[in-house]
Amino acid sequence: MKIDPRHLPSVPSQDAELVLTHDSILGESPLWEENEQVLYWVDIDRGQIHRFDPATSLNTTHTLETKVSSIGRCASGGLIVSLRKNFAHFDPATGEVRMLDTVEGDQPENRFNDGKCDRQGRFWAGTMNEVHIGAPVAALYRFDRPGSVQQMIPEVTISNGTGWSPDGRTMYYTDTLRYTVFAYDFEIESGSISNKRVFFEAEPSAEGLPDGLTVDAQGFVWSALVNYGRMLRFDPKGKLERMVTFPPTRGTCCTFGGPDYRDLYITTARECLTPEQIAEQPLAGSLYRCVPGVQGLPETPFCGLF
Closest CA to 201 of 220, 219, 182, 214: 182
pLDDT of residue 255: 98
How far is Cα 90 from Cα 81, in angstroms, rounded to an integer?
A: 7
pLDDT of residue 185: 98
pLDDT of residue 246: 98
In a domain, 295, yes or no: no
pLDDT of residue 43: 98
In a domain, 47, yes or no: yes
Residue 98: strand, helix, or coil = strand
pLDDT of residue 272: 94
In a domain, 69, yes or no: yes
User: pLDDT of 65-74, one tens digit each?
Assistant: 999 999 999 9
In a domain, 306, yes or no: no
How far is Cα 142 from Cα 161, in angstroms, rounded to an integer?
A: 14
In a domain, 279, yes or no: yes
pLDDT of residue 305: 75
pLDDT of residue 26: 98
Residue 192: strand, helix, or coil = coil
How far is Cα 17 from Cα 91, in angstroms, rounded to an integer?
A: 30
CATH code at position 35: 2.120.10.30
In a domain, 134, yes or no: yes
User: What parts of the chain have a pLDDT lower than 50?
Assistant: none
In a domain, 302, yes or no: no
In a domain, 71, yes or no: yes
Q: Which residues lie below 8 Å from residue 291, measured CB to CB, with a gap of 6+?
A: 262, 263, 264
Q: Indicate which residue of 175, 211, 216, 263 is catalytic.
A: 211
Identify whether 211 is a catalytic site residue: yes
* Number of structural domains the chain divides into: 1
Full domain range(s) for residue 140: 2-290
pLDDT of residue 27: 98
